[in-house]
Amino acid sequence: MSSSGKWASALIKPLLLTLVVLPFLYLLSGVRTINADEQALVLRFGKQLAAPLLPGTHYTFPYPVDRVYLYKPSEVKSVVVGITNHRPYPQGIQSASYSGSNVGVEFLAGDESIIELEMNVQYQIKKPAGYLFRTVDADRLVVIACETVLTSEMARSRVDDILTSGRLIMLTKVKIAAQKMLEDMEAGITIIAVNLSRAVPPARVADAFKDVASALEDKDRLINDANGLYSQVIPETRGEAIQITQEALADKNGAIKRAQGEADRFKRTLAELRQTKDAELSVLRLYLESMESIMPNIRKYIIDTDSEQDK
């Protein structure tokens, strides 16, 4: 055998081995492991498979037949709205919160006051397809949506309300409106919680705001004290009024019964006197005694009309 034949024979064996091993390795690359906190969507020839891959070991066709996209459905992500780039990143907050259209810490309220706000937003993946294929930067999208709604709500709110009891109402409105905005964009994201991590006046007017906040606290305290006193005094007064009314009714009923008893006794006495020999004289005496008991301190005159007529 010539030297050229020997070289050809030496090249054929590695080439055949390569042709066997490479397809095997290519097919073997389709074996993948999904971690316990992950799931995966599979696109086969660009079409999404109906069921996601759950945690465990799975086989998918290697690229370009299948494309596998991993995501964490139970992971809670956090971003911050209203924070400036020069400040350090809070622990656990994505850097997306600090770039793009973030307006910074100062917001204009409806009463033309300026207040510094930082709002922490937590969200999860609701629809994996929308999150993976329709959202380029989910963190930034959540920041923009919440920031837009927060700016709008602040323009309709008073600073005093944001610093006191109106805060929860505003946060609820922000959460609902931002969630609707994300759903309209089919972002596949659900907002779990919205909280104000910082709500303070600018440093140049901080003292004035502290005075206002203190006055509002005193106002709320006085109102609560007045409501507490009202809640205590009104039932007591109502109880006393009911007691007085019941005693008056008892006195009224007793007086009526006594009057009825006296009237019945008078009628019986009158009937007995009319049966006596000098009925008219007896009746007159009874009448005079009654008038004396009724009007004891009044001077009374008795006129004999019969004698006047005889004259």
Residues 72-102 have pLDDT tens digits of 888 888 888 876 543 444 444 444 444 444 4
Residues 129 and 52 in one domain: no
Pull the structure tokens for residue 233: 């005094």
d(CA 50, CA 53): 10
Which of the listed residues 200, 217, 244 is the one where a domain comes to its end? 200
Per-residue confidence (pLDDT) for residue 203, from 0 to 100? 67
Residues 23 and 63 in one domain: yes
d(CA 181, CA 198): 24
Residues 54 and 85 in one domain: no
Q: Which domain holds residue 224?
A: 205-304
d(CA 153, CA 82): 14
- Whether the model clears a pTM of 0.85, i.e. scores above it, the answer is no
Residues 18 and 85 in one domain: no
- CB neighbours (10 Å) of residue 97? 25
Task: Please give the average per-residue pLDDT across 21-44, as a whole number.
Answer: 77
Mapped onto helix, strand or coil, the DSSP state of residue 311 is coil
Residue 257 lies in a domain: yes
CA 259 to chain centre: 64
Mean pLDDT (the chain, rounded): 76
Task: Please give the average per-residue pLDDT across 109-124, as a whole number.
Answer: 78
Per-residue confidence (pLDDT) for residue 255, from 0 to 100? 83
Residues 90 and 121 in one domain: yes
